[in-house]
Amino acid sequence: MRFLVLLSLTSLLIQFHTLPAQEKIYLDSEWKKCKQKRACYYRIILGKDVAGNIKLEDYYMGGTLQMSGTYSSLEPEVKDGLFKYYTKTGVLKKECSYLKDSLNGAHTLWNTNGKLREKSN
């Protein structure tokens, strides 16, 4: 039994390590696809999780992480899972969960200095 679990985990790790280099998708200020020179953000699709949800990250053009989260669909975009949003300086500002594109459960907000501002259920 342990062997099968170890084999399964090893297989998953190999799949994620052998993914091709992630392509940057450039987005304008309205989050629409655009050319690099007009972009305010870029997106990297990291792959799919065990449930088949698409894990991705959005970045400010300077390279700072803006958001990480999972989607059940990208066309149309349907948020499904934990999302974290960051300021341009890289400070975590919001953490929340979505289920079928609707907020689901608790969310937490932080000030730009990283102090907890609000936590709700």
Asked whether the beta carbons of 87 and 94 are under 8 A apart, the reply is: no
Whether pTM exceeds 0.85? no
DSSP 3-state of 61: coil
**Which CATH number does the domain housing residue 47 bear?**
3.90.930.1
What domain count does the chain have? 1
Task: Say if 12 falls within a structural domain.
Answer: no
Task: Say if 2 falls within a structural domain.
Answer: no
Distance in angstroms (rounded) separating the CA atoms of residues 94 and 96: 7
Q: Could you read off the pLDDT of 7-18 as tens digits, one per residue?
A: 454 454 444 444
Task: Say if 8 falls within a structural domain.
Answer: no
Can you give the residue range of the structural domain that contains 73?
22-120
Task: Say if 96 falls within a structural domain.
Answer: yes
Distance in angstroms (rounded) separating the CA atoms of residues 68 and 49: 13
Distance in angstroms (rounded) separating the CA atoms of residues 72 and 69: 10
Task: Say if 17 falls within a structural domain.
Answer: no
Tell me which DSSP letter residue 64 carries: -
Task: Say if 7 falls within a structural domain.
Answer: no
Q: Could you read off the pLDDT of 81-117 as tens digits, one per residue?
A: 999 999 999 999 999 999 999 999 999 999 988 899 9
